[in-house]
Amino acid sequence: MSYKFDKSAVAFAEAKLHIPGGVNSPVRSFRSVGGTPPFIARALGSQIIDIDGNRYIDYVGSWGPMILGHAHPAVTEALQRALSLGTSYGAPTLVETELTKSIKAVFPSMELVRMVNSGTEATMSVLRVARAFTKRTKIVKFAGCYHGHHDGLLVKAGSGAATFGVPDSPGVPEGIAAATLTVPYNDVHSLTETFRQHGEDIAAVIIEPVAGNMGMVLPLAGYLEKVRQITSQYGALLIFDEVMSGFRVAHGGAQQIYKIQPDLTCLGKIIGGGLPVGAYGGRRDIMELIAPAGPVYQAGTLSGNPLAMTAGLVTLKLLTEIPDLYKKISAKTAALCIGIKQAAEEFELKIQVHYLGAMFGMFFSDKRVYDYDSAKQSDTGLFNIFFHTMLEQGIYLAPSQFEAAFMSAAHSEEDIAATIAASRVAFEKVKNCTKS
């Protein structure tokens, strides 16, 4: 059955009249891969269905939140009950404390947690409290890591040796960018050198401990330990941005796998079960600076709203209660990635496949990918051919080489087999394109 996107094409043209680029988040526009983004009508389990009636096995999962699969009955039922009690009060509720306790049970480094409405709000707020606590101004981030769209982190490495940041978007003031130093991921020497030069004025380092925004890139052996050691040595705070990796690469995120205790952690996505959410938290002596406990201001009309808290609480309870859930999801991810790698080799195509827990990614590159520069060596043209050939076979991957993919508890063995089979067709097409 050939996929048609007629209704989505009409919908996309209409959306562009009213919404910038026709989407409410850029990556959804398919600008990176070309073509028309399917407009989704509904989803259930591992599947999404678009308004043309095309069905897809979904490996985007709303960019991470849907680890249980779409429209999980327990989440839906709990939300329906919560809806009948109202949608938002702007006052404290029991469910906020319950969700926070569920997070702390899995992330013991988070002694106090503040709920917000997005990962962006979480990372924006965590920088403020890090600067207030240390009374320092500079922040270190890593090329290829993404922490949301606030000015302080929409920054890229400056030219030449200077690591001072320059804006990564129009509208970001030079002065704000200059307070953010950018260094390569997985490069201990650059980080050490940056601290040697600026260490006394660095408030914090913020890192995706398992990176998912340059494609999926894993920390090299011992790297995160060195980052922890360097930040401690200079009195800078270590912030793990686990908005994507939290409850994803393992139940307790990257900090559980690599046994690193960050000073502060940001979470999002999965903890809201598909509703708008973010959270930041960590050492009590730092988080007690946050208003109203302390002087560092941060607020939000819908922070901790009962619907997101309810969806998140049910999701986290299931992640804890379903026996061997992470073991099973990790095994599915591994089986899929090994199968795709083997399929590529059948066509003598060299790809890099990375996976950990319920997260995976692939690069059309014959070289190791360990940072943003090496990720950018990938052949995005080949990726785009692969992407569309998979889409037309009912496999919905992230529409960019520089994104990650996400497995859920709802993906079946049949889904995995169908995806590997579809990848053979896609690799054959890629191979034929490389010949011509």
Residues annotated as catalytic (active site), given as ranges: 146, 241, 269
Bridge partner list, 112? 282
DSSP string of 290-333, one letter each residue: BTTTSSB----TTTT-HHHHHHHHHHHHHHHHSTTHHHHHHHHH
Q: Which residue has the tokens 């496949």?
A: 353
Residues 262, 256: Cα–Cα separation, whole Å: 11
Angstrom distances, CA of residue 259 to CA of 108, 174, 385: 12, 37, 39
Q: Give, as ranges, the residues between 357 and 416 that touch ligand KE4 (CB under 6 A).
A: 403
| Least distance CB 107 / ligand KE4 (angstroms) | 15
**Which positions ≥6 away from 319 have C-beta within 8 Å?**
67, 68, 247, 251, 270, 325, 326
- The window from 144-152, 155-163, 332-340, 377-385 that contacts ligand KE4 (CB under 6 A) reads 144-152
Should residue 147 be labelled a site residue for ligand KE4 when binding is judged by CB under 6 A? yes
| Least distance CB 52 / ligand KE4 (angstroms) | 22
Q: Which two tokens stand for residue 33?
A: 């891969």
Q: Which residue number, 38 or 268, has a Cβ lying nearer to ligand KE4?
A: 268
DSSP string of 137-153, one letter each residue: -EEEEETT----S-GGG
Q: Which residue number, 210 or 349, has a Cβ lying nearer to ligand KE4?
A: 210
Q: Which residue, 387, 329, 123, is CA-closest to 241?
A: 123
Q: Where would I find the beta strands (DSSP E) of 4-97?
A: 40-44, 47-50, 55-58
What CA dihedral angle connects 307, 312, 317 and 320, to 10 degrees? 170
Q: Which residue number, 63 or 387, has a Cβ lying nearer to ligand KE4?
A: 63
Q: Which of 30, 39, 107, 146 touches ligand KE4 by CB under 6 A?
A: 146
Angstrom distances, CA of residue 200 to CA of 136, 196, 230, 433: 8, 9, 12, 53
| Least distance CB 96 / ligand KE4 (angstroms) | 18
Q: Give, as ranges, the residues between 70 and 129 that touch ligand KE4 (CB under 6 A).
A: 118-120, 123
Residue with the shortest CB distance to ligand KE4 = 119
Q: Which residue has the tokens 């992330």?
A: 107
| Least distance CB 242 / ligand KE4 (angstroms) | 7
Q: Give, as ranges, the residues between 309 and 338 that touch ligand KE4 (CB under 6 A).
A: none
Q: Looking at this protein, which amino acid is placed at residue 75? A: V
Contact mark string toward ligand KE4, 17..46, x via CB under 6 A: --------x-x-------------------
| Least distance CB 22 / ligand KE4 (angstroms) | 14
Q: Where would I find the beta strands (DSSP E) of 306-423?
A: 352-356, 359-363, 395-396, 405-406
Q: Which residue number, 63 or 247, has a Cβ lying nearer to ligand KE4?
A: 63
Contact mark string toward ligand KE4, 263..292, x via CB under 6 A: -----x---------x--------------
Q: Which residue has the tokens 């500079």?
A: 138
Q: Give, as ranges, the residues between 198 and 257 that touch ligand KE4 (CB under 6 A).
A: 208, 212-213, 241, 243-244
Q: Which residue number, 279 or 343, has a Cβ lying nearer to ligand KE4?
A: 279
| Least distance CB 212 / ligand KE4 (angstroms) | 6
| Least distance CB 211 / ligand KE4 (angstroms) | 8
Q: Which residue number, 25 or 436, has a Cβ lying nearer to ligand KE4?
A: 25
Q: Which of 5, 39, 56, 63 touches ligand KE4 by CB under 6 A?
A: 63
Number of residues that bind ligand KE4 (CB under 6 A): 19
| Least distance CB 237 / ligand KE4 (angstroms) | 17
Answer yes or no: are the C-beta atoms of 375 and 215 closer than 8 Å: yes
Instruction: Say how many residues make up the chain.
Output: 436
Q: Which residue number, 119 or 262, has a Cβ lying nearer to ligand KE4?
A: 119
| Least distance CB 404 / ligand KE4 (angstroms) | 7
- Mapped onto helix, strand or coil, the DSSP state of residue 351 is coil
Q: Which residue number, 150 or 328, has a Cβ lying nearer to ligand KE4?
A: 150
**Which positions ≥6 away from 133 have C-beta within 8 Å?**
203, 237, 285, 286, 289
- The window from 143-151, 281-289, 331-339, 416-424 that contacts ligand KE4 (CB under 6 A) reads 143-151
Q: Which residue number, 279 or 420, has a Cβ lying nearer to ligand KE4?
A: 279
Residues 378, 417: Cα–Cα separation, whole Å: 26
- In the chain, DSSP finds a helix count (H) and a strand count (E) of 14, 16
- The window from 145-153, 216-224, 314-322, 358-366 that contacts ligand KE4 (CB under 6 A) reads 145-153
Q: Where along the sequence are the contacts to ligand KE4 (CB under 6 A)? A: 25, 27, 63, 118-120, 123, 146-148, 208, 212-213, 241, 243-244, 268, 278, 403
